[in-house]
């Protein structure tokens, strides 16, 4: 008779006290990081007299929705429909984000997984471009847009967003970690190069393109674009709401409400994408 001995699983080497301390520390840091968001929401619900109380009060005592009502009244009174500003922002954000993701991913795949003359030089130029902020390149961008006749059009905001080097750099670093044997297996099975990229490469770098979506979406959603756009019917929602903030002290409540309105969509996108990124990073990772 053969006796089978089952080995006991080793329990994780940590105590309940250590878990409690770790959770407590995370809660403290999480609460501290949430304070700006709580303050913004609290200010948006404060009546005008509470906004100017000294010392300032962190929590609202007499919450009201009058600030959001004032924003609605001001936007309805605009000679350009409020829905037009929303459409402009959504259109620019969606097209710019999708275009940036597509172009950055395709270029990164070529740089990471294909050998061709000048590859290192191209990547060196991309890394160099990362050193220049948008403030430094504002004047050259304006001159280029003016020369090619793209001023006062959506292209003046969408094309520079698509061509940002950060997304290409991020995607290339992740693409390099894909095993070449995995791509070769797809090619041997008869898959075209675009199919290999789309169905094999992209799923392996899901954390990268989800992160890229977050960065691109947040940048475009908060983009005013008043430097390139002159027609009122083409201007974005952040520009329209910023005009409310320029109304002075009398519109302090409406300004606080505008801040919360502009934060809702980016925070929602970030929360949804962040959960997917964490899940993917925990379950992915193929090694040769």
**Would you kindly state where each structural domain of the chain is located, as residue ranges?**
104-258+278-283
Residue 206: count other Cβ atoms within 10 Å of its Cβ. Answer: 17
Structure tokens at 76: 């309805």
Burial code (b: 16+ CB inside 10 Å, e: under 16) for 122-142 equals: ebeebeeeeeeeeeeeeeebe
Structure tokens at 258: 């505008």
Mean confidence (pLDDT) of the chain: 82
CA distance 279 to 79: 46
Residue scoring higher pLDDT (265 or 2):
265
Over residues 154-183, the mean pLDDT reads 88
The pTM score is: 0.77
**Given pLDDT bands bounded at 50, 70 and 90, which one contains residue 95?**
very high
CA distance 106 to 108: 5
Question: Residues 179, 287: contact at Cβ < 8 Å?
Answer: yes
Q: Strand ranges (DSSP E) for the chain?
A: none
Residue 252: count other Cβ atoms within 10 Å of its Cβ. Answer: 17
**Given pLDDT bands bounded at 50, 70 and 90, which one contains residue 85?**
confident
CA distance 147 to 225: 18
Selection from 36, 60, 37, 35 nearest residue 49 by Cα: 60
Question: Residues 167, 106: contact at Cβ < 8 Å?
Answer: no
Per mean pLDDT, which range of 104-113, 137-146, 182-191, 248-257 is the poorest? 248-257
Structure tokens at 3: 């006796």
Structure tokens at 265: 């969509």
Structure tokens at 112: 């990471």
110-138: pLDDT as tens digits: 998 888 888 889 989 988 988 888 788 88
Ordered DSSP codes for 219-238: HHHT---TTT---GGG--HH
Cα separation values, 1 from 4, 5, 6, 220, Å: 10, 13, 16, 72
Selection from 269, 275, 278 nearest residue 94 by Cα: 269
Query: How far, rounded to the nearest angstrom, does the alpha carbon of residue 250 sit from its chain's CA centroid?
Result: 33
Alpha helices, DSSP H only, in the chain? Answer: 16-44, 48-51, 66-76, 82-113, 119-129, 138-148, 155-162, 165-175, 180-188, 193-195, 202-204, 206-221, 237-245, 252-283
Cα distance from N-terminal residue to C-terminal residue, the chain: 42
List the CATH code of the domain at 104-258+278-283.
1.10.3720.10
Per mean pLDDT, which range of 47-56, 111-120, 208-217, 239-248 is the poorest? 239-248
CA distance 83 to 197: 38
């Amino acid at each position: 008779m053969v006796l089978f001995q089952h080995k006991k699983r080793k329990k994780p080497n940590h105590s309940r006290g250590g878990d409690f301390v770790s959770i407590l520390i995370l809660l403290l840091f999480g609460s501290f990081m949430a304070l700006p968001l709580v303050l913004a929401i609290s200010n948006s619900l404060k009546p005008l007299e509470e906004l100017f109380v000294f010392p300032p009060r962190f929590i609202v005592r007499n919450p009201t929705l009058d600030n959001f009502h004032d924003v609605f009244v001001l936007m309805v009174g605009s000679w350009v429909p409020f829905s037009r500003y929303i459409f402009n922002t959504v259109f620019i954000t969606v097209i710019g984000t999708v275009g940036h993701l597509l172009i950055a991913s395709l270029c990164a795949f070529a740089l990471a997984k294909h050998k061709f003359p000048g590859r290192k030089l191209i990547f060196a130029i991309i890394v160099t471009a990362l050193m220049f902020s948008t403030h430094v390149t504002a004047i050259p961008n304006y001159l280029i847009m003016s020369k090619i006749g793209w001023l006062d059009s959506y292209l003046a905001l969408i094309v520079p967003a698509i061509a940002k080097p950060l997304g290409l750099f991020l995607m290339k670093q992740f693409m390099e970690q894909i095993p070449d044997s995995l791509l070769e297996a797809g090619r041997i099975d008869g898959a075209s190069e675009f199919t290999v990229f789309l169905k094999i490469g992209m799923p392996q770098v899901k954390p990268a393109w989800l992160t890229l979506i977050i960065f691109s979406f947040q940048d475009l959603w908060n983009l005013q674009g008043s430097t390139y756009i002159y027609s009122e019917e083409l201007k974005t929602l952040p520009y329209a709401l910023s005009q409310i903030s320029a109304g002075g002290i009398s519109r302090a409540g409406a300004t606080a409400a505008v801040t919360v309105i502009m934060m809702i969509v980016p925070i929602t996108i970030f929360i949804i994408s962040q959960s997917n990124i964490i899940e993917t990073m925990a379950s992915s990772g193929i090694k040769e």
